Amino acid sequence: MEKRIITISREFGSGGRFIGEEVAKKLGISYYDKDIIGQIAEQSGFSPEYIRENAELSPKKGLFAYAFSGRDITGKSVEDMVYEAQRNVILKIAEKESCVVIGRNADFILKDREDVLNVFIHGDMPEKVQRICKLYNVAEADVAKMITETDKRRRTNYNFYTDQKWGMAKNYTLCLNSSQLGYERCEEIIMECVK
């Protein structure tokens, strides 16, 4: 296999992270998700905890507040600086090796490369709720709100930095419903596309 980069954007609870990790293992390529946080922190000068909370998700406020919050004299916000560091780290990783990158607007950051497969994983709400309940040991009554809030923050961050719509099929090479296809079939389809 020649060098390939797979980006996986996903709805919260759809299993996109798990699918990406399995694809990376089966293809024998690097996997980048939360482990990229240390590199972004180092490049930006912010703490790993701050990056973990803010590099992929917008603050818990609307798009208007996000666009105008905390800008310095150059017009950059702290979120802009974090995004720029994240962008630089992802570009360096893609230059270096075949890999799977989870989230972090990687599909948009790497859009000009020929060797990238952009995937969006989504799922049906009942399956996502069950998955989140098991993974995070959360009461079912709280899960729908958790899913909606997390996806809203991902959408706001993505839409703000990419001028595209998060989850819109035309932004991705593949859009897969993990609830209908199952994780294993999603993995097979992704791997078929990069061979």
Burial class (CB in 10 A: 0-12, 13-18, 19+), 176: buried
Collect all residues with Cβ–Cβ distance below 8 Å to 102 and sequence separation of at least 6: 7, 8, 10, 16, 17, 20, 31, 32, 33
The rounded distance, in Å, linking the Cα atoms of 193 and 181 is 16
Is 115 in a helix, a strand, or coil? Answer: coil
Q: Collapsing DSSP states into helix, strand and coil, what is residue 126?
A: helix
Beta pairing, strands 30-32 & 116-122: unpaired
Predicted model pTM: 0.88
Write out the two tokens for 106: 């990687």
How far is residue 117's CA from residue 129's CA, in Å, rounded to a whole number? 28
Residue 59: its pLDDT value, please? Answer: 54
Structure tokens, 20: 């990406």
pLDDT at 52: 77
Q: Which parts of the chain register pLDDT below 50?
A: 60, 63-64, 66, 68, 71
**Of 8, 40, 2, which Cα lies nearest the Cα of 24?**
8
Q: In this structure, how many other beta carbons lie within 10 angstroms of the beta carbon of residue 23?
A: 23
Contact between 40 and 82 (Cβ < 8 Å) = yes
Whole-number pLDDT of residue 61 = 52
Q: Please answer whether residues 36 and 30 qualify as being in contact, where contact means their C-beta atoms are separated by less than 8 angstroms.
A: no
Q: Give me the pLDDT at residue 29, please.
A: 96
